[in-house]
Amino acid sequence: MFGGHGLLRAIGECKMTKRKTTPTTPERTALSIPLEEARAKVYRQLDEGNKLLQRQVRSQDEFEAWKADQHQWQDYTSTLLRNISNTNELADDFYGFGGYTLGRDKSLQEEIQDEFDEVKRLLPRLASVYKKLELYPVVVSGGSGTPAQSVLRDVANNASPQVNIFNYGTISNPQIQQGTNQTMQHTHMGAEQTQLLELVQQMQREIRKISPQVPPLLAEQMKRDIAALAGEAESDAPRKAWLEVAIGSLKTAAQDAKEIGLPLLDMATRAMPLIAVLIQMHNQTPH
């Protein structure tokens, strides 16, 4: 037990300890990838979200399929915003507070409207994040700081020229707005390399499509393989071994996916002769 003086001393030490506590300064949000790449990635999600609102949903089956795509879009967007920055600020700004209503049983049409309203709530918030990207500092570690050309190319060639956001306004495709096609500016390509890059983009879209339908480990393998293939295919100095390993592994993964993987297998098979030509062209180029 404390004596009188001992108790006072203990209270005093406790107060001193509290006074010495220094509040921590919140970490300032910074982009971890180049601004141009961040804009392209967020714009792609704006475009995908807007396309969800343009789909017609008239039956329970269509609603379930739409809802799965909507949840995948929402989860992917949230993860993306966390991955392109060093804090959760962007993801938190995107989510905000949900607007779902609970209580009574709802008709199918009311459930559909609720889900569509949620996308309408999230899109303006994502548009606001897009507009603010230029305000954040860029701190790229462990890389060259050069935007990923495959991302810029995908947005330039496949995303909508502009997106009309409900209750917000119109946002233009950043690649078209700048009047550039980053693919052609990055390197002088032969016809075979251009065809290969187009096939890589098709495979990327096919992998995103079938990933939810195959085992998680197989989906992850496909994503790693296509990322490696894309990086080598767009390089000025493609590495023969990396190209061959990536396309071979993709073919095996497509075969493991059985019937679902047949379109991917066909694309990978068509890519192989293009890869062989690309390697031959590079070997004949003076270094």
Condensed to tens digits (0 to 9), the pLDDT of residues 195-237 reads 888 888 899 999 999 999 999 999 999 999 998 888 888 777 7
For residues 55-76, b (16+ Cβ closer than 10 Å) or e, as one string?
eebeeeeebeebeeebeebbee
Helix (H/G/I), strand (E/B), else coil: 104: coil
Condensed to tens digits (0 to 9), the pLDDT of residues 247-264 reads 999 999 999 999 999 999
Please check whether residues 151 and 264 belong to one and the same domain.
no
Q: What tokens does 26 get?
A: 């919140």
Q: What tokens does 155 get?
A: 């947005």
Q: Among the three residues 120, 147, 177, which one is the final residue of a domain in this structure?
A: 177
Q: CA geometry: angle at 6 spanning 5 and 11, to 5°?
A: 100
Condensed to tens digits (0 to 9), the pLDDT of residues 106-158 reads 899 999 999 999 999 999 999 999 999 999 998 876 555 566 777 888 888 88
The structure tokens 């994503």 sit at 223
The answer to whether residue 14 sits within a structural domain is no
Total number of domains constituting the chain: 2
Residue 172 phi, psi dihedral angles, 5° rounding: -90, 150
Q: Among the three residues 153, 177, 201, which one is the final residue of a domain in this structure?
A: 177
Condensed to tens digits (0 to 9), the pLDDT of residues 52-80 reads 999 999 999 999 999 999 999 999 999 99
Q: Among the three residues 122, 149, 177, which one is the final residue of a domain in this structure?
A: 177
Structural domain of residue 42, as residue ranges? 35-177
Please check whether residue 57 is in contact with residue 66, taking contact to mean a CB–CB distance below 8 angstroms.
yes
Please check whether residues 58 and 134 belong to one and the same domain.
yes
